[in-house]
Amino acid sequence: MSAAPTVARTAGDALRRARLFPRVWIGVACVCISVLLLPLFFPLDGKPHADWLQFLGRFHPLVVHVPIGLIVVLPLVEFAGTRRQSFREAAGFLLQISLLACVVSIFFGFLLAYGSGEMGTTVTRHMRGGILLVIELSLCLAVRSSWLRAGRSRLYVTLLTVVLVTLGWTAHQGGSLTHGGDYLTRYMPSPLKRILAPSAVSSHPNSFFARHIYPVLDTKCVACHGTNKEQGGLRLDSYESLMVGGKDGIVIAPRNPEHSLLLQKVTLPPTDPHFMPAEGRTPLTPEEIARIRAWVVEGAPPAATSVPGVFIAEDQEQAPPPVGDYSAFMAEIRQMQQSPGAKLVPVSADPSDGLILRTADIAGRFDDAQLRKFQRFAPFIVEAELARTTVTDAGVETLVQFKNLRALHLEGTAVSGQTLGKLSTLSQLTYLNLSGTKVTSDAVAPLKLDANLRHLYLFNTPAEPAPTADTSGRSIP
């Protein structure tokens, strides 16, 4: 007997059964399979891809609010439909538009994550929540017609409730990506926070890392390198993760700051494409970089309470007094910013916050004579970044006239310390970095007695003290 008739009958039976299968279920199956396959087409490998993918993907935060609003309104319209038929018809259309908007939003979300190289636990949860939401909405669309006919079926109402729960959870994951994972716990009462959101450095709360390194990473770096995102496979939200490094290798090389990738990235010129933090986020201050460098030089210890060469008083910080109005010099200040050479940069839009003297672009050519040219701006300068310049002890004589100076960077200069004692007359000076100079213990002794000077950096100098231990076993610089 020929097999051809049997095959023909089998195929015919399959076609007849397919005609009986509701088209809506076929559509639901196609939609669900499509969104489930998206991670295969756009695998989140942690690597940035084409710029045009990132350009399109950045419309995701705009598009995603459309399905959110529609889904929230949908149950209200369904309820109104129990009293007026026109609302019932509108609810059906609203469900279809919600499903379409959700699919479009997921597509743009994948372009954003894949194009920018974002990955991490929260990114994955947000992605899976969006996919689950599409599947649930598709099922709602499939069972709604039978619910309308029967009038007593609870399946559609149950699915709609699950959709709202999934929407809330997925939206929370997306919000955590934008505002940080601690957005809801940041101001949580302490007893509740200890239970629900324990600190990443709770094991050594009094360590130098916990008090002076982790807060910098948490504020400036964890948004892109934490639980929410792991760009480059790197997490910086705990000591253990920091020391493990990422896809480019270790980022902290104990006792070797020059080979520590983290320090390399944060000290690049802001215009460098590898500069960190990226995407216009607030960069680390010279003081924060100095603390990290000193900690790395000491060996990046997890539990040490102090670092030799770094003296930080724990006094309560007070708001600095305002300086005078430098508005009359704005034309000259703008010209400096547009020309090569040393620059005066406003701290903020408020002139009373003062100016910052920056010399990084010409550090090797900036000497005592050039410093004296800024003497007429002395009342307005609150920070002087003179690191690696050729300024000497004679330059300190000029700096004494900067009466509102709060932070002074002299690391890597030719200052020997002969005139350092005169800096004690600067009542607003709270930060002084002398690392990499020839200053001695006798030269800095008067400065250590200055109650206003809260941050004094002396590592890699003759004045750098050797660590000792007190009766409690703590390391003291």
Distance CA 351, CA 298 (A): 39
- At 358, give phi and psi (nearest 5°): -120, 135
The pLDDT tens digits for 432-463 are 999 889 998 888 888 877 778 888 888 788 88
The average pLDDT across 137-165 equals 82
Q: Which residues contact 469 (CB under 8 A, 6 or more apart)?
A: 475, 476
The pLDDT tens digits for 287-301 are 888 889 989 988 888
The average pLDDT across 106-110 equals 86
The model's pTM = 0.47
Q: Is the pLDDT of residue 326 over 80?
A: yes
Distance CA 209, CA 289 (A): 13
Distance CA 365, CA 362 (A): 5
Residue 320 · residue 428 · CB < 8 Å: yes
Q: What is the pLDDT of residue 192?
A: 65
CA distances from 124 to 14, 32, 130, 233, 467 (A): 39, 18, 10, 14, 45
Run of H or E residues at 241: helix 239-244
Give me 287's structure tokens. 């003081």
Q: What is the pLDDT of residue 196?
A: 58
The average pLDDT across 251-271 equals 87
- Binned at pLDDT 50, 70 and 90, residue 420 comes out as confident
Nearest to 46 by CA among 246, 273, 276: 246
Give me 230's structure tokens. 């792991």
Q: What is the pLDDT of residue 112?
A: 84
Distance CA 41, CA 113 (A): 12
> For residues 331 and 180, which has the higher predicted lDDT (pLDDT)?
331
Q: What is the pLDDT of residue 466?
A: 53
* Secondary structure tally for the chain: helices H, strands E: 18, 9
Q: How many CB atoms lie within 10 A of CB 328?
A: 9
Run of H or E residues at 477: none
Q: Is 196 helix (H, G, I), strand (E, B) or coil?
A: helix
Distance CA 467, CA 214 (A): 22
The pLDDT tens digits for 165-214 are 999 888 887 876 666 555 666 566 656 655 555 544 445 667 888 888 88
Q: What is the pLDDT of residue 230?
A: 65
Looking at residue 280, the DSSP 8-state letter turns out to be T
- The residues pairing with 346 across neighbouring beta strands, listed in sequence order, are 355
Give me 334's structure tokens. 């703008």
The average pLDDT across 149-157 equals 73
Distance CA 180, CA 229 (A): 10
Residue 127 · residue 39 · CB < 8 Å: yes
Nearest to 78 by CA among 97, 93, 91: 91
Residue 467 · residue 476 · CB < 8 Å: yes
The average pLDDT across 111-138 equals 81
> For residues 226 and 407, which has the higher predicted lDDT (pLDDT)?
407
Average pLDDT across the chain, whole number: 79
Q: What is the pLDDT of residue 182?
A: 57
The average pLDDT across 258-283 equals 82
The percent of residues in the chain predicted with pLDDT above 70, rounded, is 80
Q: Is the pLDDT of residue 315 over 50?
A: no
The pLDDT tens digits for 4-51 are 566 556 555 544 444 444 666 677 777 778 778 877 777 777 677 788
Q: What is the pLDDT of residue 392?
A: 92
- What's the CA angle centered on 258, arms 406 and 216, to 5 degrees? 45
- Binned at pLDDT 50, 70 and 90, residue 399 comes out as very high
The average pLDDT across 81-106 equals 86
Full DSSP string of 69-121:
HHHHHHHHHHHHTTT-HHHHHHHHHHHHHHHHHHHHHHHHHHHHHHHHT--SH
The pLDDT tens digits for 363-394 are 888 999 999 999 989 899 999 999 889 999 99
Residue 380 · residue 355 · CB < 8 Å: yes
- Binned at pLDDT 50, 70 and 90, residue 1 comes out as very low
Rg (CA), the chain: 31
CA dihedral angle for residue 302, residue 298, residue 459, residue 410, rounded to 10 degrees: -70
- Binned at pLDDT 50, 70 and 90, residue 162 comes out as very high
Q: Is the pLDDT of residue 331 over 80?
A: yes
